Chain A
C-alpha cells in the first residue's frame, strides 16, 4: 500500500473561518510533509514532521499551523486565511527525510473567499 489519503478534496472557506485539512498514511513512513502549490508552479514546502520533530519553512504565515497526532496522521489547521492562500495543498510522506516526500496524496483544493 503506497497511498497517502487527504480530506477533504475540496474546501471553500471564508476569511474568518477555522478549518482543518487531514492527511493519513499507513506505510510506516517516519516523515510527513505539507506543501502548497499554486497554478503552474512547483510545490512549495511548508512543514516537515520527521521522527516527531517539526521543521518550519519560515516564510509560512502563522495562520497555518500543523499538528501531528501520531506518526500516521498529519493535520493542517487554517485560521483567518487570505484569498492569496487559495491553492492546492499537498501532503506527502517518505521513509525518512532524505527522500523529502516520496509519495504525495491527492491534495486538497482550497478556495478562500
Chain B
C-alpha cells in the first residue's frame, strides 16, 4: 500500500514569514512529486513539480526533494494571506497513478 503523509495542520505563520510544508512517502520507486494548492470549494491547482533530488525554485515557492530520506517539502517565502489554503502533496511512478497525501491547511495571519 503506497502511502503519502502530511501534517494536517493547521499550520499558522505570520504574513511575510516562510511557510514550510512537509510530505513523506513510502514507495522508494516513486519518480514524480507534485504540490497542489486548493482553496475551499475550488479544484486543486498545480504549484510545483519536481523529479530530481535537490531544490527547484519558482518565484516565492521552492520544492525540495530528498529521495534517500523519502521526503519532499514546499517552502513559501514572504507568505501572504492569499496563500492560506490546503496544500496537497502527490507522489507518482511512471505507468502508475499518483497518490495524494491528506493535505496540510496553511493559515497566513495578517
Q: Which A positions have Cβ atoms within 8 angstroms of B? A: 33, 41-43, 45, 48, 55, 88, 90, 97-107
Contacts and interface: CB of A to CB of B under 8 A. Distances in A.
A97 B98 CA distance: 9
A48 B101 CA distance: 19
B102 A41 contact: yes
Instruction: Name the prevailing secondary structure of the B interface residues.
Output: loop
Contacts, number: 53
B90 A100 contact: yes
B59 to A, nearest CB: 17
Contact of B97 (A48, A90, A103, A105): A48
A43 B88 CA distance: 9
Contact of B42 (A55, A97, A99, A106): A106
Contacts of B46: 102-104
Interface string B29-70: 001101010000011111001000000000000000000000
